[in-house]
Amino acid sequence: MASGLDFEMGPAATTLREELRALVAEEVPAGYLGAFTDDPADLAVAQRFCGVLAERGLLCLAWPAEYGGRDASVWEQAVVREEMWAAHEPRGAQYMGVNWVGPTIMRHGTPEQKAQHLPPIARGEVIWCQGFSEPEAGSDLASLRTAARPDGDTWRISGQKVWTSYATMAQWCFLLARTSREERRQQGLTVFLVPMTNPGIEVRPIRSMLGPHHLNEVFLDDVVVDAANVLGAVGDGWRVVQEVLAFERVGIARYARCERLLETAPALLGQAWEELAGELRGRWARILVQCRRARLLAYRVLALQSEGRVTPGDSAAYRIAVTRLDQDVAEVLTEIVAAAPLDGAEGEEFRAEVEDHWRYSQASTVSSGAIDVQRVLLARALLPAAS
């Protein structure tokens, strides 16, 4: 019997990791902390890097070849996902199109929608945003009020979305709106593929104490959308969105960045690491174990997805683990950089990475589904319904 856990996926995955790390080192500037800063050059880096990945067939590796992929396994795509998140996601917002917008269009889109949207995503040329949450419909998404009414061959949509990532730079919005009032709130919802250039759309960035961010409010005032831009059947949006959320939550490999930051600390400190308080180093070790446990949960959900058996409870378990991990890692690393001598360019760069991670982690337990809601989903999956 094996005495430990083996996280390796074989020689092909190792070669792929080496290729990706070499590309990041060559194409991404030192000190890069992501595409969404006050410096427009950072977004330009991400867009250029997406083109590099696309040219090598690495951006949508696991997509079918007919849609611009390489028919690779979901595990090879997981390698790409992990390496990108470990390097502060130099794909920028493209992971959204790659991980779930494109695959959802493959499953539910018309031939015309596939031909229109999949090639630009595979080339890294288009940014999507997600129009789900509203001021009074965040964790309780089924209570959304944004309404779409039919008007001949078009729909007219009015309402407000909030916490909409990338809306200031996106060309398209994956939008959920109510098209009818039904007995159950989950019924009567429809997904629309909305051009962000349509008249009647106003985007207002949301600033916060956490610094530069990609969150926005989106106001829709009688926005006209062609009937051809309905994804799936009218009224079937809830089923489509539940599938989307399962893919979205496991597609964000935050554990990979957490693990890299944790492992960097002792390597960077050298002998000074041994001079830190034993209690602090002990917490570091426990959190590293927690990090690898989150990786195993991600792999479990990925295996279920590949078999078409993933449930909301599976995704919720992973989401709970990785968001708590984000905050625990931020806490222990903040204490380490405060207590340790970190001199020179490498030390300053690591401090900046830790601060960036701390900023993100503050909202991690409420973004993409509040952790309390995830606990409810997990409880429903684990406990049999009352008879």
Distances, alpha carbon 189 to alpha carbons 132, 144, 244, in Å: 11, 9, 14
Nearby residues of 40 by Cβ (< 8 Å), 6 or more positions away: none
What is the DSSP track for 44-55? HHHHHHHHHHHH
Nearest to residue 129, comparing CAs of 162, 92, 166, 102?
166
Query: What does the block give as tokens for 329?
Result: 């890692």
Strand partners, 205: 216
H-type alpha helices, the chain: 11-27, 40-55, 74-86, 94-96, 102-108, 111-122, 237-251, 254-269, 278-306, 312-339, 344-361, 371-382
What is the pLDDT, as a whole number, of residue 213?
A: 66
What is the pLDDT, as a whole number, of residue 136?
A: 81
What is the pLDDT, as a whole number, of residue 379?
A: 76
Place of tokens 């991600």: 298
Nearest to residue 364, comparing CAs of 335, 327, 318, 330?
327
Instruction: Give residue 339's identity as a one-letter amino acid code.
Output: A
Q: What's the chain's length in residues?
A: 387
What is the pLDDT, as a whole number, of residue 4?
A: 45
Active-site residue, from 243, 248, 259, 353:
248
Nearby residues of 183 by Cβ (< 8 Å), 6 or more positions away: none
Distances, alpha carbon 269 to alpha carbons 33, 336, 342, in Å: 21, 10, 7
What is the pLDDT, as a whole number, of residue 6?
A: 52
What is the pLDDT, as a whole number, of residue 67?
A: 92
What is the pLDDT, as a whole number, of residue 2?
A: 39
Q: Which residues of the chain have a pLDDT value below 50?
A: 1-5, 386-387
Q: pTM of the full predicted structure?
A: 0.86
Domains of the chain: 11-92 (no CATH), 130-236 (2.40.110.10), 253-382 (1.20.140.10)
120-138 residue pLDDT tens: 999 999 999 999 999 987 6
248 is catalytic: yes
What is the pLDDT, as a whole number, of residue 1?
A: 33
